[in-house]
């Protein structure tokens, strides 16, 4: 019976009680199938990304022409000058993050219930930054005082990441725990 799952059902119970485990099992199977499909899609995207990065690296495309934030081009003649992370990405392209990889977990405020952790991918963070850059018209000449906590989405993304992505100036005040 390899590859077979067994679910014990008590048939002497009322129909509603007897069917509950079946419904739960059906939900679990659906979720596993969804997870498997998502994993396969992420793996295909990672393989495509690796091929694109290797192509760009071989053809020495300038970094400013690379559209994806997660794409890197390396000059293999100067590997010793790369930081260890970039060196590892060059030596093992499959270790590079792609847009579907988890990037950030931030918690909700907890005003309506207990705080919940929300996971953002590289793509979702990059999209938030891009949308805010466009909406707020961030420029290199901008400067901002960040008085918001960086463990909050507004302090981290809306202020810090947007200013960094725009080459703008971000100033923090000295922390005072009083």
pLDDT in tens, 71-124: 455 556 666 666 777 777 777 777 777 788 888 888 877 788 888 888 888 889
Q: How confident is the model at residue 62 (pLDDT cuts 50, 70, 90)?
A: very low
Query: Counting Cβ atoms within 10 Å, is residue 27 exposed (0-12), middle (13-18) or buried (19+)?
Result: exposed
Give the whole-angstrom CA distance, residue 74 versus residue 87: 9
> Is there a domain that residue 64 lies in?
no
Q: What are phi and psi of 147, to 5 degrees?
A: -105, 5
Q: What are phi and psi of 5, to 5 degrees?
A: -110, 145
CATH number of the structural domain spanning residue 126: 3.40.50.980
162 pLDDT exceeds 90? yes
> Is there a domain that residue 129 lies in?
yes
Number of H helices, E strands in the chain: 5, 4
Question: Would you state the torsion angle of the CA atoms of residues 8, 12, 16, 17, taken in this order, to the nearest 10 degrees?
Answer: -50
Amino acid 80: pLDDT: 67
Give the whole-angstrom CA distance, residue 98 versus residue 51: 12
Amino acid 149: pLDDT: 83
> Is there a domain that residue 150 lies in?
yes
- Do residues 99 and 68 touch, judged by C-beta distance below 8 A? yes
H/E segment holding residue 103: strand 102-107
| Average pLDDT, rounded, for the chain | 77
Model confidence pTM above 0.85: no
What is the chain's alpha carbon radius of gyration, rounded to the nearest angstrom?
Answer: 24
H/E segment holding residue 102: strand 102-107
Give the whole-angstrom CA distance, residue 69 versus residue 130: 11
Least Cα distance to 71 among 83, 82, 91, 55 occurs for 55
> Is there a domain that residue 65 lies in?
no
Count of the separate structural domains present in the chain = 1
> Is there a domain that residue 18 lies in?
no
Tokens of 5: 């799952």
Of the segments 41-50, 63-72, 76-85, 131-140, which one has the largest average pLDDT value?
131-140
pLDDT tens digits, one per residue of 34-46 = 888 888 888 888 8
Q: Which residues contact 138 (CB under 8 A, 6 or more apart)?
A: 132, 162, 163, 165, 166, 168
> Is there a domain that residue 107 lies in?
yes
132 pLDDT exceeds 90? yes
> Is there a domain that residue 115 lies in?
yes
Domain that holds residue 129: 99-172
> Is there a domain that residue 84 lies in?
no
């Amino acid at each position: 019976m390899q590859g077979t799952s067994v679910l014990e059902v008590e048939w002497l119970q009322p129909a509603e009680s007897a069917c509950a485990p079946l419904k739960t099992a059906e939900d679990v199977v659906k979720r596993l199938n969804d997870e498997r499909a998502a994993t396969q899609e992420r793996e295909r995207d990672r393989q495509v990304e690796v091929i694109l990065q290797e192509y760009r690296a071989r053809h020495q495309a300038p970094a400013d022409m690379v559209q994806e934030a997660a794409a890197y081009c390396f000059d293999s003649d100067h590997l010793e000058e790369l930081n260890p992370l970039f060196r590892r990405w060059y030596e093992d392209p499959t270790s590079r993050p792609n847009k579907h990889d988890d990037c950030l977990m931030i918690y909700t405020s907890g005003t309506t219930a207990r705080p919940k952790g929300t996971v953002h991918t590289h793509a979702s963070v990059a999209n938030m930054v891009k949308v805010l850059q466009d909406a707020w018209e961030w420029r290199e000449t901008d400067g901002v005082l960040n008085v918001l906590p960086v463990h909050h989405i507004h302090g981290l993304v809306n202020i810090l990441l947007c200013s960094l992505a725009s080459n703008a100036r971000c100033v923090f005040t000295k922390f005072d725990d009083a």
